Amino acid sequence: MTDALDGRTAMVTGAGRGIGRGIALELAREGADVAAVDTDSLGSAHNQYGDTEIGGYEAARELEAEIDALGRRSAAYDCDVSDAAAVEEAVEAAIEEFDGIDVLVNNAGIITAGFLGELEEAEWDAVIDVNLKGTFLVSRAVAPHMIDREGGSIVNVSSIAGRMGFGGLAHYCASKWGVLGLTETMAAELARFSITVNAICPGVVETAMWENVLTPFMDRPYEESVDSLIPLGRDQSVEEMGELAVYFASNPNVTGQAVAVDGGALL
Ligand SMILES: NC(=O)c1ccc[n+]([C@@H]2O[C@H](COP(=O)([O-])OP(=O)(O)OC[C@H]3O[C@@H](n4cnc5c(N)ncnc54)[C@H](O)[C@@H]3O)[C@@H](O)[C@H]2O)c1
């Protein structure tokens, strides 16, 4: 534990589980307080399993205790990142509660898999809405506040699927390539306010996405996917994603970058 982010507040979306949870904990270990955004209910939308009740806020509430145990403050916000009004409300509440947001991590994301001819329009819409529009909506809500404070750091979670195509993931790849376009554009727009914008491209991290969607779709054990996709021969951890988020959040001279933590998958 160090104090690289001492006195700062980070908002992390999709913080209840998986990579978002790992990033939130790593930021807290480095000294940040955490506004943890996730949601229990998706209203009229759905996630990758067709569920509208997803229990993410409940998971983010449990994270509060873990962050408290690290000696940092945390609060959970029930917010679907694809819902503009809910996003505005959550960002306003977090700014009030923590007296500002210094770091934003746009991590919330969903995935489905299916070849082009079988991909439902609703699947396309859901994946683009959460992964790409959600990143835009939360950034749009937080950026004016960072501009007023003349500083901040935005970290977007893209994917190796934002740098190469994968059969069966047209909508997901499109969303993650879009996130990289958004990252570069926001970096260019916000640089004059001393706000950095960068992206993490995770390789293969064993979360619900792999367990419930990708491994069944690829019809082979998870370990075989790791062997075939990752030259360095092992999967990546949520802590490794958190370490890169800390790097971006604490280096004010690095912006517009997309860094893959992928064991060489893009080689
Ligand atoms: N797992 C991997 O191998 C991998 C690889 C590359 C990129 N990613 C990206 O990492 C990010 C996190 O994925 P993960 O693997 O941890 O998945 P996950 O399913 O374990 O966690 C996703 C979290 O986001 C939340 N969420 C989903 N929809 C939301 C919404 N509309 N509003 C708010 N929160 C919402 C979920 O409740 C959950 O807590 C995603 O953007 C994903 O695309 C993952």
Alpha carbons 193 and 180: distance in angstroms, whole number: 20
Using DSSP's 3-state secondary structure scheme, residue 29 falls into helix
Residue of 171, 209, 235, 262 best suited for mutating to test ligand 1, as the one with most atoms within 8 Å of CB? 209
Residue with tokens 């947001």: 101
246 lines ligand 1 (CB under 6 A): no
C-alpha of residue 16 to centroid of ligand 1, in Å = 9
Judging by DSSP bridges, how do beta strands 195-202 and 152-157 pair with one another?
parallel
Widest CA span of the chain, in angstroms? 51
* CA-CA-CA-CA torsion sign (142, 147, 148, 153): positive
C-alpha of residue 40 to centroid of ligand 1, in Å = 14
Kindly list the distances between the CA atom of residue 107 and the CA atoms of 18, 116, 134, 157, 223, in Å, as whole numbers in the listed order: 10, 25, 9, 5, 24
159 lines ligand 1 (CB under 6 A): yes
Is the separation of the CB atoms in 2 and 30 below 8 Å? yes
Identify any residues that bridge with 258 across adjacent strands, giving them in sequence order: 199
Q: Domain for residue 263, yes or no?
A: no
82 lines ligand 1 (CB under 6 A): yes
Q: Which residue segment(s) compose the domain that 90 sits in?
A: 9-254
Ligand 1 atom 12 nearest Cα:
19
Q: How many domains does the chain have?
A: 1
Average of per-residue pLDDT across 95-100: 98
Alpha carbons 50 and 159: distance in angstroms, whole number: 22
Instruction: Give the residue among 36, 43, 74, 73 at the shortest CA–CA distance from 57.
Output: 36
Q: Does residue 67 have a pLDDT over 80? A: yes
Average of per-residue pLDDT across 184-201: 98
20 lines ligand 1 (CB under 6 A): yes
Average of per-residue pLDDT across 225-239: 98
Average of per-residue pLDDT across 11-35: 98
Q: What percent of the chain has pLDDT over 90?
A: 93
Query: Which band of pLDDT confidence, cut at 50, 70 and 90, is reported for residue 133?
Result: very high
Q: Domain for residue 266, yes or no?
A: no
Q: Domain for residue 166, yes or no?
A: yes
pLDDT (0 to 100) of residue 156: 99
Q: Domain for residue 60, yes or no?
A: yes
Ligand 1 atom 24 nearest Cα:
14
Helix, strand, coil tally for the chain in percent (to 5)? 50, 15, 35
The better pLDDT of the pair 44, 132 is held by 132
pLDDT (0 to 100) of residue 201: 98
pLDDT (0 to 100) of residue 12: 98
CATH number of the domain enclosing 63: 3.40.50.720
210 lines ligand 1 (CB under 6 A): yes
pLDDT (0 to 100) of residue 50: 82
**Nearest atom within ligand 1 for CA of residue 176:** 43
Q: Domain for residue 175, yes or no?
A: yes
48 lines ligand 1 (CB under 6 A): no
Q: Does residue 1 have a pLDDT over 70? A: no
C-alpha of residue 48 to centroid of ligand 1, in Å = 10
Q: Domain for residue 265, yes or no?
A: no
Instruction: Give the residue among 85, 84, 59, 89 at the shortest CA–CA distance from 74.
Output: 59
**E strands of 145-194, at which residues?**
152-157
pLDDT (0 to 100) of residue 45: 75
Query: What pTM, to 2 d.p., does this model score?
Result: 0.98
Question: Which member of 49, 57, 77, 172 is catalytic?
Answer: 172
Query: Which band of pLDDT confidence, cut at 50, 70 and 90, is reported for residue 180?
Result: very high
Alpha carbons 203 and 163: distance in angstroms, whole number: 11
Q: Does residue 9 have a pLDDT over 80? A: yes
C-alpha of residue 134 to centroid of ligand 1, in Å = 12
Alpha carbons 168 and 165: distance in angstroms, whole number: 9
Instruction: Give the residue among 113, 115, 133, 106 at the shortest CA–CA distance from 49.
Output: 113
Q: Domain for residue 101, yes or no?
A: yes
Q: How many other C-beta atoms can be found within 10 angstroms of the C-beta atom of residue 257?
A: 15
Based on the residue annotation, tell me whether 172 is a catalytic residue of this protein.
Answer: yes
Q: Domain for residue 242, yes or no?
A: yes
106 lines ligand 1 (CB under 6 A): no
Average of per-residue pLDDT across 131-149: 98
* CA-CA-CA-CA torsion sign (123, 128, 133, 134): positive
36-60 confidence digits (pLDDT tens)? 999 998 876 788 888 888 899 999 9
pLDDT (0 to 100) of residue 46: 81
Alpha carbons 30 and 171: distance in angstroms, whole number: 35
pLDDT (0 to 100) of residue 164: 97
202 lines ligand 1 (CB under 6 A): yes
